[in-house]
Amino acid sequence: MKKVNFMRQTRFRGLFQHVVLTFFSLVALFPIVLIIMNSFKLKKYIFAAPFALPNAKTFSLIGYTTVLQRSNLIINFGNSIVVTVASLFFILLLGSMAAFALSGYQFRGNAFFGFYLSIGIMIPIRLGTVSLLKLMASLGLVNSLTGLILIYIAQGLPLTIFILTSFMSQIPDELKDAGRIDGASEYRIYRLVLPLVKPAIGAIGIFTMIPIWNDLWFPLIVAPSAKTATITLGVQQFLGQYVSDWNAVLSALVLAMVPILLLYLVFSKQMIRSVTAGAIKA
């Protein structure tokens, strides 16, 4: 009897969890589906029937036509790709090197130095927007992709160092000492350690890349020119103070989502393994 009750409780708990997860999945997907549906409608039907599927009467590609004809979509996509890839590369490279040093070498001030590098997690970088803009102006990096990349590197390094230091400190010192005895350089040992923290690197890559791709604040402040505008900034040209081209806005948003969706479809299994491994070790 107790076994039957236990099985019923287990099934009920599992069903409840699935219902809750399904509900939150629908809540998360609803705005995305709504944007995609309305991007294929005439403007008057976007507001008249926002929750209805496009049909022969309401269907239109005018939004996508407008985006392709009136915007620098290819340039915007190229800028976003360059900024995202370059920022992610240097964040992972510099962050993993700093984490390797903090976890592998014991020196005076080690803990303080690690805490200092992690302060960025507690303080939002946008609080320093004015100072960052003055710094970029003094360096001549306003309206340049380099200025954006440097800001995103500074934004992503604290969390990267914090997480990777925790992971690398769990690697046995015997493994590193064995490499040193065999005459391996510190760089070679670093390369040997790096694959062992691959799940953490994958999780960091996921959580770092998406905010950079979707960011509007710093491209608007630091690089607002037409030549350096990212895809999220390019969408804003269709939003006016008094009149907005909602067909173009929704179509541009859909096109901006495509790379992230494709990336998820290709690397979904790796993403799940990375996030799960990071959660277990934490």
Number of other CB atoms surrounding residue 17 within 10 Å: 10
Give the pLDDT score at 271: 64
Flag whether pLDDT at 30 surpasses 50: yes
- Rounded Cα gap, residues 114 and 177, in angstroms: 23
Q: In this structure, what token pair is assigned to residue 220?
A: 């608007």
Distances (CA, A) of 77 to 36, 82, 142, 211: 19, 9, 19, 15
Residues in the chain, total: 282
- Rounded Cα gap, residues 255 and 257, in angstroms: 5
Flag whether pLDDT at 227 surpasses 80: yes
Residues 156-180 have a mean pLDDT of 84
Residues 234-246 have a mean pLDDT of 73
Residue 65, amino acid: T
Give the pLDDT score at 5: 62
Flag whether pLDDT at 278 surpasses 50: no
Residues 71-89 have a mean pLDDT of 90
Give the pLDDT score at 243: 63
Encode 204-245 in three state secondary structure: HHHHHHHHHHHCCHHHHHHCCCCCCCCHHHHHHHHCCCCCCC
Give the pLDDT score at 242: 56
Residues 168-180 have a mean pLDDT of 81
- Rounded Cα gap, residues 69 and 84, in angstroms: 25
Residues 205-233 have a mean pLDDT of 88
Q: Which pTM value belongs to this model?
A: 0.81
Domain 62-281 has CATH 1.10.3720.10: yes
Q: Give residue 282's pLDDT band: very low, low, confident or very high (50, 70, 90).
A: very low
Give the pLDDT score at 159: 87
Give the pLDDT confidence of 38-74 residue by residue, as tens digits: 999 988 888 888 888 888 888 988 888 888 887 788 8
Residues 169-187 have a mean pLDDT of 81
- Rounded Cα gap, residues 248 and 240, in angstroms: 12
Picking from 180-194, 242-256, 260-274, which range would have the lowest pLDDT averaged per residue?
260-274
Flag whether pLDDT at 218 surpasses 70: yes
Give the pLDDT confidence of 100-141 residue by residue, as tens digits: 888 877 777 777 777 777 777 788 888 888 999 999 999 999
Give the pLDDT score at 88: 92
Mean pLDDT of the chain: 83
